[in-house]
Structure 1
Amino acid sequence: MKQPTFHGRVLLPLSVFAEARAGDPLALERVLRYYDRYINKICTRTLYDKDGLPHICIDEYMKHRLQAKLVGAIVVKK
């Protein structure tokens, strides 16, 4: 059976989300890896050095905050 895709990317099965909600650390890691490119994209910033040259980098603080929010939204507290 062909796996469902979105813009050419294979979607995560719902069973992975269910396992992550139950507290499986490997499933949670898989979800974080799946969304890693998207999180990197929205955390990309252009910073300028003292000479005014632009440098594109990832805001690590914001990336960690978004990952923590994602984990908090998935994991159910019992």
Structure 2
Amino acid sequence: MKQNKYKEPLPLAVIEAARAGDAGAMEQVLRYYDGYINKLCTRMLYDNYDQPHVCVDEYMKHRLQNKLIYAIVCNSR
């Protein structure tokens, strides 16, 4: 059976609080987009025996999270 992938949007109050600099609201925004960011940062790596491993590139994930925070806080003024 196919699962419904619909996700409730973030409340406007949370977005406005994140724009105002509230750390808790910013954490909610980051958690909301965490699955999407993980999907964007997923990479196929190969070990010494050429076995493939799917993993999240943590460096890229932190860069995308920082860009999201910057876009919310700095571009809102």
Query: Same fold, TM exceeding 0.5?
Result: yes
Aligned residue in 2 for 1:32: 30
Aligned residue in 1 for 2:72: 74
- Please state which structure has a larger fraction of its residues in strand: 1
Q: Please, what is the CA RMSD of the aligned residues?
A: 1.4
Aligned residue in 2 for 1:12: 10
**Contact persistence 1:16–1:27 (CA under 8 A):** yes
Aligned length: 72
Gap regions ≥5 residues in structure 2: none
Aligned residue in 1 for 2:58: 60
CA–CA separation in structure 2 for the residues paired with 1:20 and 1:9: 19
- Out of 60-69 and 8-17, give the one that drifted further: 8-17
- Out of 14-23 and 30-39, give the one that drifted further: 14-23
Identical positions, percent: 61
